[in-house]
Structure 1
Amino acid sequence: MATILLKLKKTGLLIILAFLFQNASAQTGDIKGIVKDQEGKYILSANLALKGTSYGATSDGNGAYHISGVPAGNYTLVFSTVGYKQFSKKISVRPAETTTLDIEAETDVSELQTVEVTGRKESSYKNNQSFSATKIEMAIKDIPQTISTVTKELIQDRQALRLKDIVQNVAGINEFSVYDDITMRGFRNSGSSGRLMNGLRTHNNFWTSPLLVNIERVEFIKGPASAAFANTSPGGTVNMVTKKPLDESRQAISFSTGSFSTYRIQGDFTGPLNDDKTLLYRLNLGYENAESFRDQVFNKSFVVAPSISFLPREGTRFNADFVYSNQHTILDRGRTIIQGTKDLFATPMNFNVAQPGDYLKQQNLALTLSFSQQLSKKIAFNASYMKFRYDELLNEHVHAAYITPDSIRMAFTDRNSKFNGNNLTAYLTFKFNTSVLQHTLLAGYDYIDGYNISYNRSAIGLANGVGDFSLKNPSWKLRPVESYTYAAANDYSSGSRFKTQGVYLQDLVQLNRFQFLLSLRQEFYHYPVTSFSYAGSNIKTAQDQNALLPRIGITYALTKDISLYTTYATGFEPQAGGTLSNPSTGGPFDPLTSDLLEVGAKGEFFNSRLFAGVAVYQITQNNVLVNANDASKPDLLRERGQERARGFELEASGRILPNLSVQVNYAFNEALITEDIENDINKRVGLTKENAPKHSSGSWIKYTVRKGALNGLGIGLGHSQVSERETFDRTLQLPGYVVFNGALYYQVKRLQLSVNLNNLTNKEYISGGYNYERNFPGAPRNFLLTVGYTF
């Protein structure tokens, strides 16, 4: 009897619950529809929300949205997405019914800015617009030059923290070393020669790769970009675009831990500060405390990056960005291996001659102010200014010279460096027509300066107390650096002082399906007369170098989604101030000059959700300096006549489906020494340039389940591949490699869990290197677990 009563109770309870559920369901309804633009193209990732409620949805790859379980009643549906005008519409929800509301969105031309002040809202591996190459916002497919972009979404999915962590996702780029030191289209490109932040020149220290905590996207402008940015590398220019404030509240925080005792915390907070949304803010924070697979190496860093945007009225925009980063690490000089060895992997991958107590302490400060004023419908004024400062303290034990193939002489360096820089750019844009031609004319002025102060003291070998070091029987210990006998201190008190000014004109001309980008820049570079001491001697040096830099680009719209283009551009780089001022380099030297010839095609596919491009190019550079590889004179340089790179690139990125994102790339590049001043002795003509692989490729593909029991589960897979590379020592080649990476994701509402697995097969490989003394192994298999929450 008790059993029967219990069954009846359970049955009654189920009936009651079913009734309540049915009654509740009867009191709710759904809203669905299709979102298109005025040309009938579906709009992906548009936000549809019921004002004053938590109900909302995002449109999928077919423009469809569906808001379910909405209590019956009257609401205001708000539509918003980047590039289209926001609007709202009254809508009624009836019990147990589905209300259909299709939306035709109107393009918001006010989204096109002449200075990037407010943040972008895209959430894809694909980036649509760029300011970098032309100083005005243009669709990337319309720019007659290759621009590859790594967005914050790909940075997040890869859990990348530094610039060097994402270069595998860009065609034609590979690591030269573990520093801020990469190869672009076969040409070396480093932070010490200038990175761009929001189109302005910084001076990132060469020894550490820039942190990405506050970066919205990284743009790689391929080929010389001197027409826009003065002295730049011929292989390309790296522009890091910081995250700007948004006019809607978004907050996110994440915690990470993983291999090598890694701990990270990152936060991103943005939104309006007043009801009118004329004052916006953004704050990015980041902290890392990690060890490494490399002996003695550790990383402790934090970043604080606030940003304010002020839009008091239509046509007036002001932005202030401040970035402070602090890094405490060790200068990893790479793995020293037995001289002349044929087995590159005989020495352990973690092997490092650095000693306990060595350190590298860095501080970076950057303040950027940007202003844009629309003077009339046809004329706009733009100005940006950056103040930059870098401070460095370095103590390190390093390889000085081989004594025998398996033992080395040690050296110790104590260095204190400071760098101060200023960058101002100001220009006017004019829009006008001449007959059937539409013009966007830009006239501007740039000013850049930099001043470095560096004090060094050093001790070398047994006689000075530093000692020697055995590669077969190494000994790591805390050494008495204060008891060393130091050589006379070297004072490079103006080692990187320079000033450069440029005036330029640019005209973007439109004629039917054609666009012509014509620009001309006159550059005035000045390295002033300076007097300073070097090992007790007074040194004086001065240099003035001027350059006229033309650029011509043509784009043809084959269809509304596919463009063909060709371009010719020139480049200019004065030799570095430290090279000019250091008498041990063997100067003086002529400036670097370069030119680019490129043809290609760009297109948007899958209803503009995927961007793909192909480029064929030739880059030539003259007056290149290389290390003379003289063990007795480690700073000695020599001038190489000419280098040339020829190749082609393929890449594609975007979100093909709402749950499928892709980034793939491949590059073939043949970078050769085509002329050599010392060819009769060294016979270098025809040799491949250092760290310039012929073949490289990379990928990252992310798929997320959107339905069923596995809803919210995602998987990411990708690879990085680089072929054999030469080093500065022609008896040592770095072997090619393929490394596979993966990730698992799981998202529940605002909470996301991810596990990134790098080097899945535990491949031993060398990511870059100079010679037997300095080559840089890649990390073994490792993982990073991240918990993120948005609110």
Structure 2
Amino acid sequence: MKFKITCLLFLTLTWLGYSQNNNLKGVVNNSAFQPVENVNVVLENSTRGTETDVSGQFQIENIETGTYTLTFSFLGYKTKEVEIVVSPNQDLDLGVITLYEGNEILNEVVLYGGNGNKFSRKQTAYVSKLPLKDIENTQVYSTITTSLLESQVITNFDDALKNAVGVENLWTSTGRGGDGAGYYALRGFAVQPQLVNGLPGLTNGTINAANIERIEVIKGPSATLFGNAVSSYGGLINVVTKKPFAGTGGELSFTSGSYGFNQIVGDFNTALDKDKNIYFRLNTSFSRSESFQDAGFKQSFFVAPSLSYKVNNKLSFSFYGEITQAEQTNPMFLFLNRGAPSIASNLDELGYDNKLSFTSNDITLQNPTQNYRVEMDYKLSDKWQSQTLLSRSSTSTKGYYSYLYDFGGNPVDTFSRYINKQNANTETADIQQNFIGNFNVLGLRNRMVVGIDYLNTTSVDNSTSYAYYGSVQADGTTEAGYPLSTSGIDAALASATVNNIKTEYNIFSIYASDVLNITENFSAMVGLRFDHFDNKGELSNSEDDYNQSTFSPKFGLMFQPILNKLSVFANYQNGFTNVAPTLVGDPSAGPQTLKTFDPEQANQLEFGIKTNLFSNRLNATVSYYDIKVIDQVITDPDSPFNKIQGGEVVSRGFEIEVNANPLDGLNIRAGFSDNFSETTESDNVNILNKRPLEAGPETLYNLWANYEFQEGLLEGFGLGAGFNGASERFAINYASTGEFILPSYTVANASLFYQANQYRISLKLNNAFNKEYYKGWTTITPQMPRALIANFTYKF
């Protein structure tokens, strides 16, 4: 399989032809005759576009003959439209285009590759907190675009993330307090999606896919710019939501499919004043789906208002909100025993009937969530901009949670059910102040961000303790029948204790990052963060309080042998985890003492290449990384009563991502990753020299190709097809338990669609060959069988 995937990616890289059309170029200056960089240059009614470089120059290649409107837009300047006529076999030089300062809103322009490469995004301001092009960024990241989500008729967040190279679902969102929006393996470490538009945004339920503009998966330890609270050693996941744009319009969408899935989505955008300085956008959605098992459902309603207000040519404000009401039965994981020997080592021995849910639709969890974000941008000068950000999030869990746990022994497939009543809430507040500069020092160009950040997180847990509530066997045989009803559970929990736990922590940070162009083709990125962690712990217990400070550096080098087309990069990135003090010393010899530690550290070395070739038709990233986690707290081998920082974990591997547009109408997305992870130093013999369970499968791969007919009787019709898969993985792998292996899988998907100017009709078949497959992290979670989905979208 590895050989086949490698051959497929090689063919994708090499099979690229491009049409010999006409080229367009020019220069953009301001009224002072100075070049303006990063101006958005877009051919209207198309996805064709580019940006001006540092000298104000732009070029769009391979334009078909015809008449076009060319739009120039940039923050603080009036948008300018130029009518152009492209003649056969003739390049067009527009000369100098002058932009004037003005009072006008600018939407976030989505620029694809120059010939309509819809699966690749070329620039983002979130990954580096600077408007930096991918090809000049030393960090690796995957972007899942709106066009890719639309092509695949994506209706849930887990399916969307299958397009990110090296990402695998470990643990679907349970709705339980503190579990968040699921866990995913990334570069050998578990990560959760905890960023919304670059700021903390938590949820105990699933993320609604209807409000996603794009998803950015940022690879490697990223604490320098984002801290450790929202990232992991493998990276982080940033969800970018839909925002207001200049104009009036929207869409209505209805999707229906197998297992009772129905979703209706509304999106409306308009100006609120006659001068068109204030734009308002409203997204809303309601969805409900049943389970493919004998019981289970999910339903959610959300409303997401957003507002952009351009006060003048220097000052602008924006607001974003999302209010979600969700209810679901929690997915019934089969928890494997983490301490006792496992008799069953695979699914065949377990005899699991995956059509059984072991729950009922009366036992549900509610997950109300709110996320808010306010931004103020102020243009201090031609070189500096101020960005002030405030975010608040609140997510709650109320209802009944249950799980099945394998205690081992005979019969081999017996699981005990445990239940509790959830009542938990987590709130965050984050304030950031960034100063973003683009200036020259001694003739060398600097793009810099300097920022301060304050994060407060407070959690309240008033859930009950867990109670035993009967046993079942994996094949459905009931060992001890208990009523799966709220009244039965309430009776079982009548004597349960109720938690009264409130915890809090604060993080104060200051950071700086600079991209220095030593030459036009050679640049260096240097970053540093100072982070102070103030842990209040449980507020009723002052003895668990502690604070810790650390520095987190970052460094990268980028060389472009072919400017804006091919780059070679290397980076060093850092992550860290705060470590609580612990008591040490022989208790029989007297009172123990409290020992403090330095934060645990993760350091990554990475190198690779990025391409932007054939007039943006081929965007590829190939990289190799090596992450080493050090300073984990372990028992001192010379003294069982002492703790030292000597634990180590290594994770290394390579990733390939390809976004190709070999001919007009055809877009291809392909990825392959291979990861080796091992605990190399530990006092726990259960995990020593073993692959960590959070690392997931060693090998992951994905492919999606979408073609739309461009002319003739079939114009507007299209089809898509692809697959994603993984090698086998350990659900459990401890010295004390033995192994439980979940098998490898490859799942195929396909779609048909027709789209015109104002509507799109799509039909999608997921898991076309009805593959039975599983995921898990000390758990066994069956995945969705074959499902058919139909969508109708009307745009206005």
Query: TM range, normalised to the smaller chain?
Result: 0.7 to 0.9
Superimposed CA distance per residue, residues 226-258 of structure 1 (whole angstroms, 9 cap, x where no aligned partner): 110111211011111111211122311110111
Q: What letter is aligned with 2:365?
A: L
CA deviation digits over 1:170-200, x for unaligned, max 9?
A: 1111111222110001111124xxx111111
Answer with 287-296 or 346-355: which moved more: 346-355
Q: How far apart in 2 are the matches of 1:508 and 1:391?
A: 40
- Is the aligned partner of 1:665 residue 2:668? no
> Does residue 1:395 correspond to 2:400, yes or no?
yes
Cα distance change on mapping 1:221 and 1:625 into 2, 3 Å:
farther
CA contact (8 A) 1:337 1:344 kept: no
Query: Which one of 369, 386, 390 corresponds to residue 385 of structure 1?
Result: 390
Distance (whole Å) between structure 2 residues aligned to residue 592 and residue 333 of structure 1: 34
Counterpart in 2 of 1:166? 160
Tell me which residue corresponds to 1:455: 462
Structure 2 equivalent of residue 251 of structure 1: 250
1:380 to partner: Cα distance = 1.5
Q: Aligned ranges for residues 746-761 of structure 1 at < 5 Å?
A: 746-761=754-769
Q: Report 1:332-411 matches (<5 A).
A: 332-335=331-334, 340-344=343-347, 346-402=351-407, 404=410, 405-411=412-418
Does 291-300 or 447-456 show the bigger shift? 291-300
1:306-705 correspondence runs (5 A): 306-335=305-334, 340-344=343-347, 346-402=351-407, 404=410, 405-461=412-468, 466-472=469-475, 473-474=477-478, 477-479=483-485, 480-495=488-503, 497-512=504-519, 513-528=521-536, 530-532=538-540, 540-560=543-563, 561-574=565-578, 591-622=599-630, 641-679=647-685, 682=686, 684-687=688-691, 689-705=693-709
Aligned-residue offset at 1:60: 11
Query: Shift of residue 297 of structure 1?
Result: 1.8
Residues 53-95 of structure 1 show CA distances to partners (whole Å, capped at 9, x for unaligned) of xxxxxx998312547xxxxxxxxx7433778995446799xxx
Q: CA deviation at 1:432?
A: 3.4
Select the residue among 52, 67, 79 that pairs with 2:70: 79
Pairing 1:284-323 to 2, within 5 Å after superposition: 284-323=283-322
- Offset of 1:325 from its aligned partner? 1.4
- Closer/same/farther in 2, CA of residues 433 and 324 from structure 1, 3 Å limit: same
Conserved? CA contact 1:716–1:744, under 8 Å = yes
In structure 2, C-alpha distance between the alignment counterparts of 1:398 and 1:224, rounded to whole Å: 32
TM-score normalized with structure 1 length: 0.81
The 1:770/1:108 distance shift into structure 2, 3 A limit, reads farther
Separation (CA, whole Å) in 2 of partners of 1:738 and 1:328: 31
Give secondary structure in 2 for the equivalent of 1:727. Answer: strand
Contact conserved, 1:126 with 1:609, CA < 8 A, in 2? Answer: no
- In the other structure, the counterpart of 2:25 is 37
Contact 1:294 1:351 in 2 (8 A): yes
Shift in Å, 1:686: 4.7
Q: Secondary structure at the match of 1:678?
A: coil
Contact 1:355–1:476 (CA under 8 A) maintained in structure 2: no
Cα distance change on mapping 1:523 and 1:492 into 2, 3 Å:
farther
Indicate conservation of the 8 Å contact 2:42/2:70, yes or no: no
Distance 1:110 1:154, change over 3 A: farther
The one-letter amino acid of 2:149's match is: I
Q: Aligned partners of 2:195 and 2:96: how far apart in 1?
A: 31
Once residues 539 and 273 of structure 2 are traced to their aligned partners in structure 1, the CA distance between those partners, rounded to angstroms, is: 54
Given residue 718 of structure 1, which amino acid in structure 2 is its aligned partner? G
> 3-state DSSP class of the match of 1:439?
strand
Classify 1:376/1:159 alpha carbon distance in 2 versus 1 (closer, same or farther; 3 Å). Answer: same
Q: CA deviation at 1:422?
A: 0.3
1:451–1:494 CA contact under 8 A, matched in 2? yes
Output the CA distance in 2 between the equivalents of 1:229 and 1:678: 31
Q: Which amino acid in 1 is paired with 2:71?
A: S
Q: How does 1:219-258 map to 2 (within 5 A)?
A: 219-231=216-228, 232-258=231-257
Taking the aligned partners of 2:307 and 2:22, their CA distance within structure 1 comes to: 36
Could you say which residue in structure 2 is the equivalent of 1:144?
138
- In structure 2, distance between residues paired with 1:623 and 1:487: 43
Q: Distance in 1 between matches of 2:308 and 2:432?
A: 19
Tell me how far 1:109 sits from its aligned partner.
11
Counterparts of 1:506 and 1:609, CA distance in 2: 31
| Matches of 1:156 and 1:620, distance apart in 2 | 38
Q: Are residue 133 (structure 1) and residue 122 (structure 2) matched? A: no
CA contact (8 A) 1:459 1:486 kept: no
Q: Which has the higher contact order (CA 8 A, sep 6+)?
A: 2
Q: CA deviation at 1:152?
A: 1.1
**For each residue in 1:9-38, what CA deviation from the matched residue of structure 2 results, as whole angstroms up to 9, or x when unmatched?**
xxxxxxxxxxxxxxxxxxxxxxxx956233
Give the letter aligned to residue 502 of structure 1: S
Taking the aligned partners of 1:690 and 1:110, their CA distance within structure 2 comes to 52
Contact 1:171/1:666 (<8 A) preserved: yes
Partner SS state of residue 162, structure 2: helix
Larger Rg: 1
Spell out, residue by residue over 1:358-396, the C-alpha distance to the aligned partner (whole angstroms, 9 max, x if none). Answer: 111001111100111111112221111101111210303
> What stretches of structure 2 of length at least 5 have no aligned partner?
1-20, 29-39, 47-58, 113-117, 174-181, 582-594, 635-643
- The Cα of 1:314 is off from its aligned counterpart by 1.8
Aligned to 1:581: none
Q: CA deviation at 1:610?
A: 3.1
Whether contact under 8 Å (1:35, 1:103) holds in the other structure is yes
Which residue does 1:181 correspond to in 2? 183
C-alpha distance 283-119 of structure 1, shift in aligned 2 (>3 A): farther
**Counterpart amino acid of residue 170 in structure 1:** A
Structure 1 residue 455: Cα displacement: 0.9
Question: Contact between 1:48 and 1:79, CA under 8 Å: does it hold in 2?
Answer: no
- The 5-angstrom pairing of residues 13-92 of structure 1 reads 36-38=24-26, 46-47=43-44, 62-64=62-64, 66=66, 78-80=69-71, 87-88=80-81
Identity of aligned residues (%): 23
Shift of residue 135 of structure 1? 0.9
Task: Name which of structure 1's ranges 425-434 and 311-320 shifts more when overlaid on structure 2.
Answer: 425-434
Alpha-carbon displacement from aligned partner over 1:655-714 (angstroms, at most 9, x marks no partner): 4433111111111111111211223xx362254554432211101110011222222211
**Matched residue SS, 1:134:** coil
2:784 to 779, 784, 791: 779
Contact 1:724 1:734 in 2 (8 A): yes
Alpha carbons of structure 1 residues 90 and 185: separation in structure 2 relative to 1, 3 Å = closer
C-alpha displacement of 1:598:
0.7
Shift of 1:734: 1.3
Match in the other structure for 1:216: 213
How far, CA to CA, are the matches of 1:557 and 1:428 in structure 2? Answer: 27
Q: What residue ranges of structure 1 are gaps of 5+ in the alignment?
A: 1-32, 50-58, 68-76, 93-97, 533-537, 578-586, 627-637
Kindly indicate whether the alpha-carbon contact (under 8 Å) linking 1:117 and 1:318 is maintained by their aligned counterparts in 2: no
Alpha carbons of structure 1 residues 470 and 652: separation in structure 2 relative to 1, 3 Å: closer
Is the contact between residue 751 and residue 764 of structure 2 (CA under 8 Å) also seen in structure 1? Answer: yes
Judge conservation of contact 1:639–1:677 (CA < 8 Å) in 2.
Answer: no
Q: Could you report, residue by residue, the CA deviation over 1:132-158 in whole angstroms, capped at 9, with x for unpaired residues?
A: 232111001111010110011111222
Aligned to 1:27: none
Counterpart CA distance in 2 for 1:507 and 1:678 is 41
Change (3 A) 1:655 1:272: farther
Q: Give the Cα separation in 1 of the matches to 2:633 and 2:357.
A: 28
**Number of corresponding residues:** 691
